[in-house]
């Protein structure tokens, strides 16, 4: 056990890769952990709000889930586990949530989330027993690259449509991504590694000058930070096991498998390390974390694309920084004041950061194609990638009774089915 908490300290040259079993000096590792918390924070808070869950508890359970995942994968898979958006549609359908305030039927949703985590864990155990070849046959590089790219592209509309309500906010988003890009290109050393965090701080200062100072937009309001308590426990809820809700929510496990698989493929491509032997353990880690979260009143959790984007930009894949991020999330979960401080970050600034992060995810998908030399002169590869990208980007949605499969889900399953169907003709040709 103690060996998984050991990392080789490195002081890399600018732009050099830091491997999962390496780490920067602890102060720099902690700073990287803060950056990863900020990257995941917006989505991990937004998802529970949309389902009527307690956001502080979701943050707390994301930290616990990340530590569980770290332990089960032996500290070898760099990943943060945050609230999964894949549950939103089915939770709302199962609970009849109206969209405002606390979800009065929360326990029923939690029973379904636990069932989903159990199914996910079972899939992981099967992969551990029989290997990953069947998954690799279903999802070759053209499919996994497309799915990873689609995750970023599908999310692209969130900051552009929902996080810039005014013309000023849209301009501030532009200022923010220019700040992040400037840090990425024109700074050196550790500052460059912290491009998301430093860019966000610079953009927030610019925002404060323009709004609080010059009155050009909605000013930053720190009253929530001042009024929030330093320490306070979130509200825990017990699950209720309702058969219909469990049947409705459990199939989300398939989407989580696809997300986790895409995450592992992206990390493997970026680090040059084969993550396939760890796939089963990663599925089990995510499934167990989801069950633990649901048992306390939290959302289902998944490996976070936002953190893939940060890793792609910084080239730091150390699992140590995710342990730091998880511990920070635990602190946030028990501290309404810290949560209020993060929530005080202007919406437009978070939107600008999201544009950068989601774009980096999309590029990480393209990198899988490049690294695996996917041949787009082959019409099978070309058609699978082309259709997958538009299904996901356009948020193509299908309904199966009470179950809704959104853009990322339809793109994922569409890519897998197309690859399988088109392969038959190739086999006979």
The 3-state secondary structure of the chain reads CHHHHCCEECCCCCCCCECCCEECCHHHHHHHHHHHHHHHHHHHHHHHHHHCCCHHHHHHHHHHHHHHHHHHCCCCCCCCEEECHHHHHHHHHHHCCCCCCCCCCHHHHHHHHHHHHHHHHHHHHHHHHHCCHHHHHHCCHHHHHHHHHHHHHHHCHHHHHHCCCCHHHHHHHHHHHHHHHHHHHHCCHHHHHCHHHHHHHHHHHHHHHHHHHCCCCCCCCCHHHHHCCCCCCCCCCCCCCCHHHHHHHCCHHHHHHHHHHHHHHHHHHHHCCCCHHHHHHHHHHHHHHHHHHHHHCCCCEEECHHHHHHHHHHCECCCHHHHHHHHHHHHHHCCHHHHHHHHCCCHHHHHHHHHHHHHHHHHHHHHHHHHCCCCCCCHHHHHHHHHHHHHHHCCCCEEECCEEECHHHHHHHHHHHHHHHHHHHHHHC
Residue 121 has a pLDDT of: 96
More confident residue, 205 or 195: 205
At residue 272, what are phi and psi to the nearest 5 degrees? 75, 15
Residue 134 has a pLDDT of: 78
pLDDT above 90 (res 125): yes
> What proportion of the chain, given as a percentage, has pLDDT over 70?
93
Q: What is the pLDDT of residues 90-113, one digit of tens each?
A: 787 778 776 556 788 889 999 999
Instruction: Provide the mean pLDDT of the chain.
Output: 83
Q: What is the pLDDT of residues 230-251, one digit of tens each?
A: 888 888 889 999 887 888 788 7
pLDDT above 90 (res 71): yes
Question: Residue for token digits 């046959």?
Answer: 137
Lowest mean pLDDT among 1-5, 329-333, 418-422: 1-5
Of the spans 71-85, 134-148, 259-273, 398-412, which averages the highest pLDDT? 71-85
pLDDT above 60 (res 428): no
Residue 101 has a pLDDT of: 66
The tokens of 94 are what?
Answer: 């199962």
pLDDT above 80 (res 255): no
Q: What is the pLDDT of residues 283-320, one digit of tens each?
A: 999 999 999 999 999 999 988 767 877 888 788 888 99
pLDDT above 60 (res 429): no
Lowest mean pLDDT among 2-6, 97-101, 271-275: 97-101
Residue 427 has a pLDDT of: 41
Residue 424 has a pLDDT of: 58
CA distance 243 to 251: 13
Residue 2 has a pLDDT of: 57
Provide the whole-model pTM.
Answer: 0.71
> How confident is the model over 14-40, as a mean pLDDT?
85
CB count within 10 Å of CB 175 equals 16
Residue 10 has a pLDDT of: 86
pLDDT band at 89 (very low <50, low <70, confident <90, very high): low
> How confident is the model over 198-222, as a mean pLDDT?
84
Lowest mean pLDDT among 96-105, 124-133, 346-355, 412-421: 96-105
Q: What is the pLDDT of residues 396-410, one digit of tens each?
A: 888 777 666 777 778
């Amino acid at each position: 056990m103690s060996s998984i908490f050991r990392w080789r300290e490195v002081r890399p040259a600018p732009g050099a890769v830091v491997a999962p079993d390496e780490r920067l000096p602890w102060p720099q590792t902690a700073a990287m952990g803060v950056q990863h918390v900020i990257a995941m924070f917006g989505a991990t808070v937004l998802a529970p709000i949309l389902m009527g869950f307690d956001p502080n508890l979701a943050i707390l359970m994301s930290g616990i889930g990340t530590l569980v995942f770290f332990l089960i994968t032996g500290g070898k898979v760099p990943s943060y586990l945050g609230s999964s958006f894949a549950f939103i549609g089915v939770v709302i359908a199962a609970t009849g949530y109206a969209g405002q305030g606390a979800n009065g039927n929360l326990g029923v949703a939690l029973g379904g989330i636990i069932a989903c985590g159990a199914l996910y864990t079972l899939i992981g155990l099967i992969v551990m027993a029989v290997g990953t070849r069947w998954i690799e046959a279903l999802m070759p590089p053209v499919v996994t690259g497309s799915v990873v790219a689609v995750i970023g592209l599908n999310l692209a509309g969130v900051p552009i449509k929902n996080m810039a309500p005014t013309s000023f906010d849209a301009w501030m988003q532009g200022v923010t991504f220019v700040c992040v890009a400037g840090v990425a290109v024109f700074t050196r050393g550790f500052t460059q590694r912290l491009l998301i965090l430093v860019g966000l701080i610079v953009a927030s200062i610019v925002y404060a000058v323009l709004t609080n100072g010059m009155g050009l937009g909605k000013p930053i309001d720190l009253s929530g930070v001042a009024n929030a308590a330093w320490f306070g426990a979130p509200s825990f809820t017990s699950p209720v096991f309702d058969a219909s809700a469990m049947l409705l929510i459990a199939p989300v496990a398939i989407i989580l498998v696809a997300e986790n698989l895409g995450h592992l493929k992206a990390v493997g491509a970026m680090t040059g390390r084969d993550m396939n032997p760890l796939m089963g353990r990663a599925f089990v880690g995510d499934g167990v974390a989801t069950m633990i979260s649901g048992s306390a009143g939290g959302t289902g959790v998944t490996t976070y694309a936002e953190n893939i984007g940060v890793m792609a930009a910084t080239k730091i894949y150390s699992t140590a920084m995710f342990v730091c991020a998880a511990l920070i999330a635990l602190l946030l979960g028990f501290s309404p004041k810290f949560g209020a401080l993060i929530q005080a970050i202007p919406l437009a600034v978070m939107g600008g950061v999201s544009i950068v992060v989601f774009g980096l995810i999309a590029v990480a998908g393209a990198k899988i194609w490049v690294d695996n030399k996917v041949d787009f002169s082959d019409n099978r590869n070309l058609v699978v990638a082309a259709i997958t990208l538009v299904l996901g980007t356009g948020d193509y949605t299908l309904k199966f009774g009470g179950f809704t499969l959104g853009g990322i889900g339809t793109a994922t399953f569409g890519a897998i089915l197309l690859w399988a169907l088109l392969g038959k003709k190739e086999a006979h040709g």
